[in-house]
Amino acid sequence: MSKPAVLTLDDKVYVFPTIEGVENEKAVDFRTLRSATGYISYDEGYGNTGSCQSEITYIDGEVGILRYRGIPIEQLADKSSFLESSYMILYGDLPTQFELDQFKARVREGTAVSPMMCDVLKGFPRDAPPMGMLGSMLGAMSCYNASLATNDRAVDLEHFDEAAAVAIAQTATAAALGYRVTKGLEGNQPDPSLSFGDNFLHLMFSEEGRPYKAIPEVSRALDLMLLLHADHEQNCSTSTVRMVASGGANLFASVAAGCGALWGPAHGGANMAVIKMLEEIRATGDDGSKFIEEAKSGKSGKRLMGFGHRVYKNFDPRAKIIGKACGELLNKLGIDDPCLDIARHLEQAALADDYFISRNLYPNVDFYSGIVLRALGIPSDMFTVMFAIGRMPGWVANWREIAMNPKMKINRPRQIYQGPALRDYVAMEDRG
């Protein structure tokens, strides 16, 4: 049994229970803090606050560990696939072959969107931001799949299997159709014979008389990208999904809110920022050496994008995996991307520099993911959309945890009010 925590306030002693996770994470249970003491805890940004108990993902940022349902990300990247890992994230265990086949079939069946949804997409302007379009489509899914989005928790859980498959499948479909709308192209029909990733690329790039031809190395790189982003504990977007779900909202409304949170550049736009930085370095003829010195000086306003992470104080384990895959993909495709050379130089230089080491500034997953996506033909303004496609299983699994918890209360954080003290209303004629 965990030791209790003792808190002294105003010469009074209060005892609070503690909670210990399976990986020895420890927390003080302050659920009765306000009622017992009149105080609340203050933790701006929630960096020290456990908002929930979850069984989905474990992270140890101090040593660079990431596990989905207990399985190390390195093993999943080497042996699993996006859809197999998605099943495990959703349901808790690796599937049998029968379970995986059934799950893949549900995803295939859920890929096609309503023609009316296509009409909605066509109504967006060609310069519409891809994340704005995707968020709108995720919300619209609740309208075009009304039987799966009733806001009656028991009913929505009864139809969870189908709803989860639709959310995962149609996110990719809507993303691809949105891309084609911006190009003035008609949408393609899903090809049930293709894998999840290959079907997405087909929906994106197939042209009349020139169907997309799957390349194994490309298929594997895309699948790996999605798998590495499938979940990442209580980040901004996932916490948003849980917040909305706590109010009883259906799955599609909740993940649409998560999409909005991901749209922010501090969360989902990091790989775009990396590509922009690498392109700017290349344009100056620098190999990255000058840029590093300017970033260290702090006078130029330049930052080394793709380094450091809110959670990881060591190497991001996903970065090691995607960095290796990036080089292999470009070599296989015969792509000579000068941005990759600059990225490698930046990584080597930063990892040998005490300035970055002392500040725990190691490469994160975003450092190489943009290069991989560019090699796959994905335009940079869709990088965050790709993030959303990958993260959907995690969002859906977190919605399910909320929905299945009979003791779940609506999330309602407190605040410390710092505005004007009590004052009287002043009539218009007396305001000067």
Active site residues: 309, 366
Of 202, 197, 263, 192, nearest to 224 by C-alpha is: 197
Question: First-to-last CA distance in the chain?
Answer: 65
Q: How far apart are alpha carbons 330 and 372 in whole angstroms?
A: 8
Number of helices (H), then strands (E), in the chain: 19, 7
CA 394 centroid distance within chain: 8
Q: Tell me if 14 sits within 8 A of 1, measured CB to CB.
A: no
Taking residue 356's Cβ as centre, other Cβ atoms within 10 Å add up to: 21
As beta bridge partners, residue 71 has 68
φ, ψ dihedrals at 60, nearest 5°: -120, 100
**Sheet containing 65-68: which strands, arranged edge to edge?**
57-60, 65-68, 71-72
Tokens 């949105």 correspond to what residue?
178
Tokens 């999840």 correspond to what residue?
196
Q: Tell me if 346 sits within 8 A of 274, measured CB to CB.
A: no
Q: How far apart are alpha carbons 406 and 362 in whole angstroms?
A: 41
Q: Tell me if 339 sits within 8 A of 371, measured CB to CB.
A: yes
Q: How far apart are alpha carbons 28 and 110 in whole angstroms?
A: 43
